[in-house]
Amino acid sequence: MGRYVARRLLQMIPVFIGTTLLIFIMVNVLPGDPVRALWGDKPPDPAQVAQIRHDRGLDLPLWQQYLHYMGGLLQGDFGKTIAGNRPVLDEITQAFPVSMRLASMAWTFELIVGITLGVLAGIKRGRFVDNTVTLFTLLVISVPIFVVGLLCQLFFGNELGWITPTVQDSENMSQLLVPAIVLGMVGLAYVARLTRTSIAENRQADYMRTAVAKGLPRQRIITRHLLRNSLIPVVTYLGTDVGTLMGGAVITEGIFNVTGVGNLLFQALARREGAVIVGVVTVLVIVYLIASLIVDLLYAVLDPRIRYA
Amino acid sequence: MPDLTKTTATATDEQSVTPDAPVDAIASGPAPGKPRSLWNDAWRELRSNPLFVISAFLIVVLLVVAAFPGLFTDANPDSGDQVNHFLGKPELTHFFQADWFGYDRVGRSIYSRVVHGARNSILVGVGVTILVTLFGGLCGMLAGYFGGFWDSLISRLTDVFFGIPFLLGAMVVLNAFTDRTVWVVMGALAFLGWTQIARVMRGAVITTKHADYVVAARALGAGTKRILFRHILPNALAPVIVVATISLGTYIVAESTLSYLGLGLGDGAISWGGDISDATQDIRNNPHTLFFPAGMLSITVLAFIMMGDAVREALDPKLR
């Protein structure tokens, strides 16, 4: 087990380098100049532009810039923003807790409601419950998240007045509730569908017949035998979804005015702050890599036949 | 692919002889020496699935709308009469008229914009799916069949792309382009999306490449190209087709999401996502400006996802 984890951690290094390099190239090679953008519509002073570019190392070849960046990163230095000269790390540590809170609420919602709906539908395959759940998940996947978000804001916020239309205080769980549900909606649909398919497949398995024949109570059969064996694809999905929920919340955060990672990224894109974009993605990649390692370790918990030597 | 059309054609012929339930067809059986393939079975299953029939009908209608928007409306989607039509309410009884869905804040006919927006959405969805299936499929096939160096290279590459959230990567790429045409958006989405198909294809090829018929073909002296395209590909294609059909809908969502964020199609292009973004300025008093583009978008995505579901059920024997 320990050796397996160590090997996996080592394998993460090339992926980490590859992903940061890819995003670094994407941000830097593509056209658009953040230094010139400091002047807005006014013509920039070439000498000053050159000076800033030199100070920031932006005149170096790209591979040197990347090495500098990675060198700093290993010491916990994410670089500084071009406009304002603030440490990128400050902006990230400000935004991440907010996104983390929102994402973990959305994730819990996905997990509990998604698996429950999936189990109900899978057990009653072809019946009314199943058809309702299937139709619901199809609708949720088809209606884009920005439409759902806008409608929820309009309906619950403006018409009914149950929630504040935008989040005023990102520490307040009740204000984050509706944005979290909106954010977790699509994932919920996928979790429900995956659980349903998996349960429906395993329901016919021999061990299920054995469990019923042994006279085990129905609830125990479902939770201990059926669900445990059906969870592997669901756990895989939930694991990779952590990163998506943290970084992909651009839309939800925009609609409900949550000042999280998505918001930070959107601002950074508009201002062409390469260091912020690369920094945020770097943290997201780390989250993704750790989540996928945990998922792989969970496989062995769910299915004892899987062993990591 | 010619195999697919051939088998579907024979399936149709058989069905016309025995138009009843599939049970009859199985009882009478196909002519000896003409084995029923997976595709044959799948097609039989598909036609009896109401989800497939509905989604296929919707998709055909949408394709016609996308190809010939002029058949459905004469109103100009790009210019409007702001003085007379400013945010005009929908006249739901005026079927297929310019004011059917009302007017937006520039006085443009929403019905006309919804109709003309179909082309870009569907073009992006279909285009990205084709690009991704060709490129991802080829990479996956190479990785799965040859193994070794190519496998490590392509697998690590897919790992790298998987680490970047899709929407976020697309935002970064598209932000750099000032002139975002349909082709640019297509290219950006395909650039970030090919890895999913590559993984699926790799897995499918690995499971088929040790099959007896592949060994037999090699023993008979078939070349690598023949083995890959005539023996392995047709048998590894099913999961790829399933993933491709379902992801088509998600690419349409991605395009509209990017347009909503102002990072999708450029200014001149009509996009449902862009119209939805415009509508958000005052949805409280003018919900119709949001409702129709959003509804059209949702129906389109629903059609493709339903189609994907039906195809998956037909191609996956475990779900029968």
Tell me whether B171 touches chain A (CB under 8 Å).
yes
Within an 8 Å CB–CB cutoff, is residue B253 touching chain A?
yes
pLDDT at residue A309, as a whole number:
57
Of the candidates A59, A62, A57, the one whose C-alpha atom is nearest the C-alpha of residue A23 is A62
B131 pLDDT band, cuts 50/70/90, is very high
Cβ contacts of residue A75 below 8 Å, gap of 6+? Answer: none
Q: Is A138 on the interface with B (CB under 8 A)?
A: yes
For residue A288, give how far its alpha carbon lies from the nearest alpha carbon of chain B (Å): 6
* Cβ–Cβ contact A264 with B under 8 A: no
Q: Do B172 and A23 touch (CB under 8 A)?
A: yes
- Here the tokens at position A7 are 């090997």
**B261 touching chain A per CB within 8 A:** yes
Residue among A16, A200, A247 whose CB faces B165 most closely: A247
Q: Indicate if the pLDDT at residue B5 is higher than 60.
A: no
Q: Which residue of A has its CA nearest to B274?
A: A146
Whether B243 contacts chain A with CB within 8 A: no
Residue B109 touches chain A, beta carbons under 8 Å: no
Q: A116 CB near a chain B CB, below 8 Å?
A: no
Query: Residue by residue, what is the 3-state secondary structure of A163-231?
Result: CCCCCCCCCCHHHHHHHHHHHHHHHHHHHHHHHHHHHHHHCCCHHHHHHHHCCCCHHHHHHHHHHHHHC
Cα separation, B83 vs B103, whole angstroms: 11
How many Cα atoms sit within 13 Å of A205 on the Cβ side?
16
Residues of chain A with pLDDT under 70: 30-41, 56-57, 170, 248, 308-309
Please report, as a single letter, which amino acid is at residue B304.
F
Q: Which residues of A touch B284 (CB under 8 A)?
A: 154, 158
Q: Is A13 on the interface with B (CB under 8 A)?
A: no
* CA distance to B61, B101, B176, B279, per residue, from B252 (Å): 17, 22, 21, 19
What dihedral do alpha carbons A12, A17, A19, A22 form, nearest 10°?
-160
Residue B2's pLDDT is what?
A: 39
HSE-up (13 A, CA, CB side) for residue B16 = 5
Q: Is the pLDDT of residue B16 over 60?
A: no
Per-range mean pLDDT, top range of A265-274, B88-97, B153-162:
B153-162
What residues of B are in contact with residue A14 (Cβ under 8 Å)? 156
Domains identified in chain B and CATH numbers: 38-319 (1.10.3720.10)
Does any CB of chain A come closer than 8 Å to the CB of residue B172? Answer: yes
**Signed CA dihedral, B295, B296, B297, B300: sign only:** positive
Chain A touched by B313 (CB under 8 Å) = no
Chain centroid, CA B141 distance in Å = 21
How far apart are alpha carbons B116 and A154 in whole angstroms? 27
In the predicted model, what is the mean pLDDT of residues B83-111?
71
Rounded distance between C-alpha atoms, residue B298 and residue B121, angstroms: 12
pLDDT at B87: 67
The token pair at A215 is: 């006279």
Which residues in B lie closer than 8 A to residue A15 (C-beta atoms)? Answer: 156, 159-160, 163
Alpha-carbon distance B261 to nearest alpha carbon in chain A (angstroms):
8
- What does the pLDDT average to over B107-124? 84
Q: Would you say residue B28 has pLDDT above 80?
A: no
What pLDDT does residue A287 have? 86
pLDDT at B11: 40
Q: What is the mean pLDDT of residues B112-117?
A: 85
* Cβ-Cβ contacts under 8 Å, B160 against chain A: 15, 18-19, 22
Q: Which residues of A touch B299 (CB under 8 A)?
A: 142
Which residue out of A131, A143, A292 would a mutagenesis test of the B interface target, given it has the greatest number of B Cβ atoms within 10 Å? A143
8 Å CB contact of B309 and A138:
yes
Helix (H) / strand (E) containing A30: none
Q: Is A150 on the interface with B (CB under 8 A)?
A: yes
* pLDDT, position B96: 65
Separation between Cα atoms, residue A71 and residue B9, nearest integer Å: 62
Neighbours of B139 (CB within 10 A): 23
Asked if B171's CB is within 8 angstroms of A248's CB, the reply is no
Residue B15 pLDDT? 40
